[in-house]
Structure 1
Amino acid sequence: MPDKRHRAPARSVPPPQARDKLAFLLALVPWLLEHDRVSVAEAAAYFGVSEEEIRASVSLVAMSGVPGSTSTYQHEDLFDIDWTAFEDDDEIAITQHVAIDDAPRLSAREAAALIAGLQYLQALPENADRTAIRALVEKLSRGASAAPSQLAVAGGPESEVLGLVRRAVADGRRVRFAYLNSRGEREEREVDPLRVESIDADWYLRGWCHLRQALRTFRFDRMSDMVVTDAPIEHDASEVRLPDTLFEPTSSDLEVTIEAAPEVIGLLADYIPDGALTTQVGDRIRTTLRVSHYHGLKRLIAGMPGTVQVVAPEQARRAVSEWATAGLARYA
Structure 2
Amino acid sequence: MKPNACPLTTAEIAALALSMAHLGSGPQADAARSGLRHAFQHLEVDDDVVAATLTTLIEPLPASVADRARTIANAITSRMVIRLHYRDVSGRITVRDVDPVTCMVHRDHWYLVGMCRMRGAIRAFRFDRIVATEQTFVPARPHRAEGFLPFQGKRAERARHAA
CA deviations 1:156-184 (Å, max 9, x no partner) are: 46221111111111111110021111232
Percent identity between the aligned chains? 24
1:154 aligns with 2:48: no
CA contact (8 A) 1:208 1:235 kept: no
Q: Is the 8 A contact 2:15 2:102 kept in 1?
A: no
| TM-score, normalised with respect to structure 2 | 0.55
Residue 241 of structure 1 pairs with residue 147 of structure 2: yes
Partners of 1:105 and 1:242 in 2: CA distance: 29
**Ranges in structure 2 where 5+ consecutive residues have no aligned partner:** 20-31, 43-56, 153-163
170, 184, 192: which one aligns with 2:99: 192
| Match of residue 173 from structure 1 | 80
* Residue matched to 2:129: 222
Q: How many angstroms does 1:194 deviate by?
A: 0.7
Query: How has the CA–CA distance of structure 1 residues 154 and 189 changed in structure 2, closer, same or farther, with 3 Å as cutoff?
Result: same
Higher strand share: 2
Could you state the TM-score of these two structures normalised by the residue count of structure 1?
0.29
Instruction: Check the 8 A contact 1:207/1:215 in 2, yes or no.
Output: yes
Cα distance in 2 between the residues matched to 1:119 and 1:216? 19
Unaligned runs of 5+ in 1: 1-103, 107-113, 126-133, 145-151, 247-332
- Paired positions, count: 111
In the TM superposition, what are the counterparts of 1:53-72 in structure 2 within 5 Å?
none
Give a deviation string over 1:166-206, Cα, whole Å, max 9, x none: 11111111100211112321111110111111122211111
What's the offset of the Cα at 1:155? 2.4
Distance 1:204 1:179 in 2: 12
Match of 1:123 in 2: 17
Give the drift of 1:235.
3.5
Distance 2:80 2:14 in 1: 24
Structure 1 pair 121–156 and aligned structure 2 pair: CA distance change class (3 A): farther
Instruction: Return the index of the structure with the highest Cα Rg.
Output: 1
Q: Tell me if the contact between 1:119 and 1:153 (Cα under 8 Å) persists in the aligned partners.
A: no
* 8 A contact 1:120–1:153 mirrored in 2: no
AA in 2 matched with 1:190: D
Structure 2 residue matching 1:123: 3-state secondary structure: helix
Quote how far apart the aligned CAs of 1:245 are: 4.8
